């Protein structure tokens, strides 16, 4: 079924209703003892379910495989936001088409958890794109940063729902132990790749935090957002890099059209090079249960395995 997308005017009108009521109402879910959380991405939804567990009801907007860069709110989304007790999003411009709603609610004092607020300043990656310094929103690709995001989420939930604070704190402690183990795992796996082969080429620039944290180089056809378009110049630039560094494999993403990466392979082959498709990385969205990549930990571990096996 094709959902009817909101026009700019419709969003503005509905937002006015959300903003006027968000600090006054109490949802039916909250009355029943559970807060109603609306999350914008599969990453924030997974985090909410891990830390808050059965203490909340989670409604997620951008589902498995859905690109949050280009996602536009539907009438149903705005209705869900209106009923929510807490809104959880990534920030740094990831949910670009939802920015008006997200920033508006935050300014008006609604219960909003912005994941980017938990990132320590020295860890934020800024990229010069179109002449402006913009902050990279793909913060989950550094596991230590995601641990900070989890802590920030738990702290906010304790503030909004003090009755269940002990549960949130206990779940956070258990989750952070898992994240420590995950961070150690990714670091160890990346060391298996020969130093000269530690170059990750993907469809869009989503893995710079991974590069910084785990000692690999990254490059991409598109910029920070999938809304940017890759041109012939971008393809030729990466073609030369692949040939010069003798890169063995490049990667498609679960949210991006694979055709652009296939054109890159063809360009390399046309110049006498040999590069293969290393597989599909999960970038800006988790997968569904059938994919085996339906949680944050599964995605990070799976991505690391795929990268190492293709490049080492």
pLDDT exceeds 50 at position 22: no
**CA-wise closest residue to 266 among 250, 282, 253, 281:** 250
* pLDDT, mean over the chain: 88
pLDDT at 217: 95
Cα–Cα distance, 152 to 176 (Å, whole number):
12
Mean pLDDT of 204-223: 92
Question: What is the percent of the chain with per-residue pLDDT over 90, rounded to a whole number?
Answer: 71
pLDDT at 226: 67
pLDDT at 11: 42
The 10s digit of each residue's pLDDT in 34-69 is: 999 999 999 999 999 999 999 999 999 999 999 999
pLDDT exceeds 50 at position 212: yes
pLDDT at 100: 86
pLDDT at 66: 93
CATH number of the domain residue 230 falls in: 3.40.50.1980
Pairwise pLDDT comparison (179 vs 98), residue with the higher score: 179
Cα–Cα distance, 82 to 84 (Å, whole number):
6
Question: What is the percent of the chain with per-residue pLDDT over 70, rounded to a whole number?
Answer: 87
pLDDT exceeds 80 at position 9: no
**CA-wise closest residue to 257 among 201, 203, 200:** 203
Cα–Cα distance, 23 to 157 (Å, whole number):
16
Domain boundary at 130, 149, 182, which? 182
pLDDT exceeds 50 at position 169: yes
Domain boundary at 148, 182, 216, which? 182
pLDDT at 228: 66
Domain boundary at 182, 215, 236, which? 182
Cα–Cα distance, 182 to 159 (Å, whole number):
28
Q: Give a yes or no: residue 2 inside a domain.
A: no
**CA-wise closest residue to 125 among 220, 251, 221, 213:** 213
Pairwise pLDDT comparison (279 vs 11), residue with the higher score: 279
Q: Give a yes or no: residue 187 inside a domain.
A: no
Label the pairing between strands 199-204 and 217-222: parallel
Domain that holds residue 267: 192-311
**DSSP notation for 243-301:** HHHT--EEEEETTS-THHHHHHHHHHHHTT---EEEEEE--SS---GGGT--SHHHHHH
Shared-domain flag, residues 81 and 225: no
Shared-domain flag, residues 178 and 198: no
Q: Give a yes or no: residue 3 inside a domain.
A: no
Ranking 103-117, 174-188, 274-288 by mean pLDDT, the lowest is 103-117
Q: Give a yes or no: residue 210 inside a domain.
A: yes
pLDDT exceeds 50 at position 25: no
Q: How many CB atoms lie within 10 A of CB 308?
A: 17
Per mean pLDDT, which of 8-17, 43-52, 258-267 is the most reliable?
43-52
Pairwise pLDDT comparison (292 vs 106), residue with the higher score: 292
Domain count for the chain, please give it.
2
pLDDT exceeds 50 at position 106: yes
Mean pLDDT of 158-173: 97
Shared-domain flag, residues 201 and 169: no
Ranking 31-40, 146-155, 278-287, 293-302 by mean pLDDT, the lowest is 31-40
pLDDT exceeds 90 at position 27: no
pLDDT exceeds 50 at position 4: no
**DSSP notation for 179-223:** HHHHHHHHHHHHTTS-GGG-EEEEEES--HHHHHHHT-EEEEEE-
């Amino acid at each position: 079924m094709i959902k009817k997308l909101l026009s700019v005017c419709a969003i503005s009108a509905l937002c006015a209703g959300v903003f006027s009521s968000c600090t006054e109402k109490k949802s039916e879910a909250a009355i029943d003892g559970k807060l109603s959380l609306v999350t914008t991405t599969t990453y924030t939804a997974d985090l909410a379910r891990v830390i808050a567990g059965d203490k909340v009801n989670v409604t997620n907007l951008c589902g498995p495989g859905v690109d949050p860069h280009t996602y536009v709110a539907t009438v149903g989304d705005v209705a869900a936001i209106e009923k929510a007790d807490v809104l959880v999003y990534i920030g740094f411009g990831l949910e670009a088409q939802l920015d008006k709603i997200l920033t508006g609610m935050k300014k008006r004092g609604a219960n909003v958890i912005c994941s980017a607020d938990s990132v320590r300043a020295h860890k934020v990656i800024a990229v010069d794109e179109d002449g402006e310094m913009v902050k990279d929103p793909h913060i989950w690709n550094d596991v230590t940063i995601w641990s900070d995001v989890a802590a920030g989420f738990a702290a906010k939930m304790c503030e909004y729902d003090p009755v269940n604070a002990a549960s949130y704190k206990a779940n956070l402690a258990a989750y952070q132990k898992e994240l420590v183990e995950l961070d150690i795992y990714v670091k160890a796996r990346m060391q298996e790749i020969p130093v000269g082969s530690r170059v990750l080429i993907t469809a869009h620039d989503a893995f710079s935090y991974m590069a910084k944290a785990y000692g690999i180089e990254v490059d991409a056809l598109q910029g920070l957002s999938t809304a940017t378009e890759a041109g012939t110049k971008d393809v030729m630039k990466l073609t030369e890099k692949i040939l010069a560094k003798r890169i063995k494999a490049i990667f498609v993403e679960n949210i991006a059209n694979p055709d652009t990466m296939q054109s890159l392979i063809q360009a390399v082959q046309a110049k006498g090079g040999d590069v293969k498709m290393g597989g599909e990385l999960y970038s800006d969205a988790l997968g569904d249960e059938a994919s085996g990549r339906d949680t944050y930990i599964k995605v990070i571990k799976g991505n690391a395995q795929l990268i190492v096996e293709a490049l080492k």
